[in-house]
Amino acid sequence: MRRLVNKRIVIGITGGISAYKSAFLVRILRKNGADVRVVMTKNACEFVTPLTFQALSSRPVHTELLDLDAEAAMSHIELAKWADLIIIAPTSANFLARYAHGFAEDLLSTLCLAADSPVMLAPAMNQNMWLNKATQENLNKIKQWGIKVIAPSEGEQACGDDGPGRMAEPEEIAKFAADIFRTNILTGSRLLVTAGPTREAIDPIRFLSNGSSGRMGYAIASAAVEAGAEVTLISGPVNIEAVGIEKIIRVTSAEEMCSSVMKKINTTDIFISAAAVSDYTFQNISKKKIKKIEDTCQLILHKTPDILAKVAALNNAPFTVGFAAETENLEMNAKEKLDLKNLNMIAANKVGKQIGIDSEDNELTVFWGSGQEKLPLNSKNKLARKLIELIAFQYNEENSNKTH
């Protein structure tokens, strides 16, 4: 269940006897590297206590929609945005009905309405309630929206009945959740991603670099692995964990990044250049530490190769995606780069406080030949998944145009 590493998961607990099983679910998800927040309905609190889940998740449990303290810490909208996945386990017949009809009168139903991430249900109820036409109709309706449902199993029920309605076991729910992140939209394609800054040496101790954390590129590489692609990541010096990425080539300078990219490019279908490559490097690197003797010090810079433009200009260029970090005129500058560098796609982000370089969150506007799409402010992991969806769609379109 490696796909659960670093995933932000909201567990919604509704009122039912199987709520006790969700305690095991929280443990399993956390053991597999997920960050878990728990939301409980009023009825759920009758079966199990929020304290149990606070202890297991190491986070305060959310129970109220209109609780000033909880809203101040993280509003229900922020919580919905925070989540990579929402799992409602157990899902009661009552919650299913409210969800199917778009109610938003408590925290959990409001979260589901506000969610921009997948929602997964693990229903649990008495067999007659489960087999009731109302429940089955609600279920079918929800499934048509793309909501994933892990069916309850048959067997002895807490009420003494025997039949379908027992909540799936926590281990099965966790496996089902991990599989939601495997989309397979890029199965069979070979991706090359660059990430992080480069360092241009001045002398044996100093260098010229930038504040890129590498998070966006690493998130893209991880999302591409989840999408089924064979991924190679070429990374500048960063200090972050690579999740699920097996092939990483570490480089330091722009020149090294360029030659590593060029070595791999003939076996690449999609190239994503998320690295903040230095535009200039030093003409002469001093072999010894430069001493502070003179009042001024002149160093001559010369241009580094533009890796992205070089790749896009190849005869057999892969599908090429660039990034444009801009402080002003975002759209104009990004579109100009798309044309000038002859790219298939460009993801533009405005660099500012809390977004872009060296931050947790980002917002992107993606441009390609015939269209554009805004990916609003969100975690870099979630944005990366959305960007990979866009890339997969455009890449497949281009390929089918080529073959017709």
Residues classed as catalytic: 159
Identified binder of ligand C5P from the candidate list 277, 312, 345, 391, rule CB under 6 A? 277
In the bound state with ligand C5P, the residue whose beta carbon lies nearer, of 15 and 197, is 197
Tell me the Cα Rg of the chain.
25
* C-alpha separations of 121 from 87, 192, 369 in Å: 6, 35, 39
CB half-sphere exposure, 330, CA atoms < 13 A: 18
In this structure, are residues 183 and 155 in contact, taking their beta carbons and an 8 Å threshold?
no
Nearest distance from C-beta of residue 195 to ligand C5P, angstroms: 9
Nearer to ligand C5P, 91 or 198 (CB): 198
Q: Looking at beta carbons only, is 178 or 338 nearer to ligand C5P?
A: 338
- Least Å distance, CB 217 to ligand C5P, is 9
Which range touches ligand C5P (CB under 6 A), out of 122-130, 169-177, 274-282, 293-301? 274-282
Q: Considering the rule CB under 6 A, would residue 323 count as an interface residue with ligand C5P?
A: yes
Instruction: Report d(CA 254, CA 269) in Å as an integer.
Output: 22
CB-CB neighbours of 343 under 10 Å? 25
Residue 306 binds ligand C5P (CB under 6 A): yes
Question: Does 275 interact with ligand C5P (rule: CB under 6 A)?
Answer: yes
User: Candidates 25-33, 168-176, 291-299, 300-308 — which segment interacts with ligand C5P by CB under 6 A?
Assistant: 300-308
268 binds ligand C5P (CB under 6 A): no
d(CA 191, CA 270): 5
Q: Extract the runs of DSSP E, i.e. beta strands, from 14-169.
A: 35-40, 85-91, 119-123, 148-149, 153-156, 162-166
Integer angstrom CA distances of residue 8 from 37, 59, 82: 8, 13, 7
* Amino acid code (one letter) for 121: L
Q: Which of 241, 279, 331, 336 binds ligand C5P (CB under 6 A)?
A: 279
Non-local CB neighbours of 202 within 8 Å, separated by 6+ positions: 208, 282, 285, 286, 290, 299
The verdict on 238 binding ligand C5P (CB under 6 A) reads no
For ligand C5P, which is the closer residue by CB, 327 or 399?
A: 327
- By beta-carbon proximity to ligand C5P, the closer residue of 230 and 306 is 306
Using rule CB under 6 A, residue 391 touches ligand C5P = no
Q: What are phi and psi of 242, to 5 degrees?
A: -95, 120
Of the two residues 93 and 390, which places its CB atom closer to ligand C5P in the complex?
Answer: 390
- Quick check: 106 binds ligand C5P (CB under 6 A)? no
Query: Which residue in 3, 76, 337, 385 binds ligand C5P (CB under 6 A)?
Result: 337
232 is a site residue for ligand C5P (CB under 6 A): no
Q: Does 253 bind ligand C5P (CB under 6 A)?
A: no
CB of 337 to ligand C5P, least distance (A): 6
Question: In the chain, how many H helices and how many E strands?
Answer: 15, 19
Assess 304 for contact with ligand C5P (CB under 6 A): yes
- Minimum Å gap between C-beta 322 and ligand C5P is 4
User: Are the C-beta atoms of residues 281 and 254 closer than 8 Å to each other?
Assistant: yes
Which amino acid, residue 221? A
| Site residues, ligand C5P (CB under 6 A) | 254, 273, 275, 277, 279, 304, 306-308, 322-324, 337
